[in-house]
Amino acid sequence: MDDLAGRIQTFMLEIRNEILIGQWMPSVISAGYDERVASKWAAELGHVVEEFDSTLRQLARVLTETDAERIPVRLKSFSEGVTEVTVPEIVEPMERLLELVTPFLPPETDYDAEVDSADEQD
């Protein structure tokens, strides 16, 4: 499973460096947003990517446990960690991102209809 943790880390680095910073940020800037705005948005998303990386690698370690008595102990510890650490670590940057992006949102009625329509097409 060490290989799994390594693959997770490699994948999450790809998401952060190549996709978020290398592709998404330039496309946001090309769409007309200021580079500082795009950087702030990407920074908040980067915090979430880092937390997902850590949590998924911890899960990979949990999945290596084979001792029957330790399996529920590891699962309990993992569950508590996700609840007490991961969730707050994700909520905080998402709340900051929401504050940062709110001034750029169109009026809610138009935005909600667009999102609902796009979600139905996916």
Counted domains in the chain: 1
Q: What is the pLDDT of residue 45?
A: 96
56-61: average pLDDT: 93
CB atoms within 10 A of CB 54: 17
DSSP annotation of 1 reads -
- Range of 52's domain? 2-121
15-43: average pLDDT: 96
Give the separation between CA 108 and CA 106, rounded to whole angstroms. 6
Q: Give yes or no for a contact between 65 and 103, defined as CB atoms under 8 angstroms apart.
A: no
Reported as a pLDDT band with limits 50, 70 and 90, residue 1 is low
The answer to whether the pTM exceeds 0.95 is no
Q: What is the pLDDT of residue 112?
A: 64
Q: What is the pLDDT of residue 111?
A: 57
Whole-number average pLDDT of the chain: 91
Q: What is the pLDDT of residue 113?
A: 66
